[in-house]
Amino acid sequence: MKKNIALIALCILWMGLIIISYFYFDIFVMKRIYALHLSAGNGSILWWLTNFGNGLYVILAVFLAGVISLMFIRHRVAIIGSIYLFVSVILTSLFCDVLKFILGRYRPSLYYDSGRKLYGFSFDVFSRHHWSRYESFPSGHTTIASALAIGIFLLLPKWRVPAIFYMVMIASTRVLRLDHYVSDVMAGMCLGAIGSFVLYRIFYQRLIQSQFLLNVKWIKQ
């Protein structure tokens, strides 16, 4: 009970920080990064790093991990863990896309490239042109990376530090490439973490406690 209250309090605090960032830090940080003229185009280091959070690549990697668990490791816990990670990444990604569509937040490029300094949200879905430029909040790459990282954090204690490092790295590259504002990646972290944690409680733990794969002879228990 105390852990749940602490987690809820942490989520509320984090959401408060997202709001503060939106009003006071997003544009400030974006302008400072823009002034640095970082090399962030295709083929750059930032481009390669940020692609480790690409939804398609992450989903394929988790799927392959599941296949390896099923075909070679053949351990019930490993197989269920792979299924859980796959479901977490898929569902949080879909929910993130729905939020992007509804909220329609302007990307940083619409602030410094449009000449109109567009900032905020465009809730009128019919007036949007070039849809990808209205999909800044929350960050999809960060949401997926966070869902995967927190899933690994919960399943594999020895991999907690690399998992958190991976999540922070993806979030950082999204800001440094000017694909997102700070509040976008903070929201992505929050969404991915909450989604992964909730699914761990209501999906993974229940699957572990169920009869799923218990009577399959070639799978280790």
Domains along the sequence of the chain with CATH: 2-209 (1.20.144)
**What pLDDT is recorded for position 130?**
67
Kindly indicate the confidence band of residue 148, based on its pLDDT and cuts at 50, 70 and 90.
Answer: very high
Q: Quick one: how far is CA 144 from the chain centroid?
A: 3
Kindly indicate the confidence band of residue 216, based on its pLDDT and cuts at 50, 70 and 90.
Answer: confident
Q: What is the pTM of this model?
A: 0.93
* Tokens describing residue 221: 């228990």
Q: Tokens 């007036």 sit at which residue?
A: 127
Residues contacting 89, CB < 8 A, separation 6+: 55, 58, 59, 62, 144, 147, 148, 151
**What pLDDT is recorded for position 147?**
97
Using CA atoms, how far residue 36 sits from 42, 98, 170, 176, in Å, is 18, 33, 19, 10
**What pLDDT is recorded for position 195?**
96
Over residues 107-136, the pLDDT tens digits come to 998 888 767 788 989 887 766 666 678 889
Mean pLDDT calculated for residue range 88-96: 96
DSSP string, 148-215: HHHHHHHH-GGGHHHHHHHHHHHHHHHHHTTSS-HHHHHHHHHHHHHHHHHHIIIIIHHHHHS-TTTT
DSSP conformation class of 217? T
Q: What percent of the chain has pLDDT over 90?
A: 70
**What pLDDT is recorded for position 181?**
97
